[in-house]
Amino acid sequence: MKRALQWMGVLSLALLVGCAQQPPKDDSLYHALGERPGIQKIVEGMLLHIAKDDRIYKYFAKVDIVRVRDKLVDKFCVEAGGPCTYTGDTLEEAHKGMNLSRSDFNALVENLIDSMDDQHIPVSTQNRLIARLAPQRGEVIEK
């Protein structure tokens, strides 16, 4: 009996350690953005805003815009905690040789915000998405 209690204690400790190393997946942002259909609307709106933006539209003029849309939807979905898989190039590879500036990056973020405003996404939700995307800024600018 004593040995059984010891094993139960060891097993309980192992389960607690395992749970501590694998935090639960937070998909609340994914849901707040309207899941995949909502994210697709946001991305499509962002691309429409970019098409009218003299600061950065040139970077999108000669790309397969459907592929870009699909990869951005996947990327945003993953970053929002959704059940998607991003299979595109790394951000560094995708932006290699473009030599994007901080202001280019900021213009894209402004277009993203405009699109989320168009979709009536609350500012607090917008800030959560931007906070998840912001650390990737260094992978994009001046590459």
What's the pLDDT at 143? 65
Q: Is residue 10 part of a domain?
A: no
For 12-47, b/e burial (b = at least 16 CB within 10 A) is: eeeeeeeeeeeeeeeeebbebbbbbebbbbbbbbbb
How far is CA 127 from its chain centroid? 12
Say whether 31 counts as a known binding-site residue: no
State pTM to two decimals. 0.80
Look at residue 7 and tell me if it is in a domain.
Answer: no
- From the first residue on, what is the mean pLDDT of each consecutive set of 10 residues in the chain (143 residues)? 41 40 71 98 98 96 95 96 93 89 94 98 97 90 77
Question: For residue 3, is it within any domain?
Answer: no
Contacts of 113 (CB under 8 A, 6+ apart): 126, 130
The domain total for the chain is: 1
Q: What is the CATH number of the domain that holds 111?
A: 1.10.490.10
Is 133 among the domain residues?
yes
Task: Give CA–CA dist 88/70, Å, rounded.
Answer: 9
What pLDDT is recorded for position 141? 87
121 belongs to a structural domain: yes
Note down the domain range covering 120: 25-139
The answer to the question of residue 19 being in a domain is: no
45 in a structural domain: yes
- pLDDT value at residue 25: 75
Q: Is residue 12 in a domain?
A: no
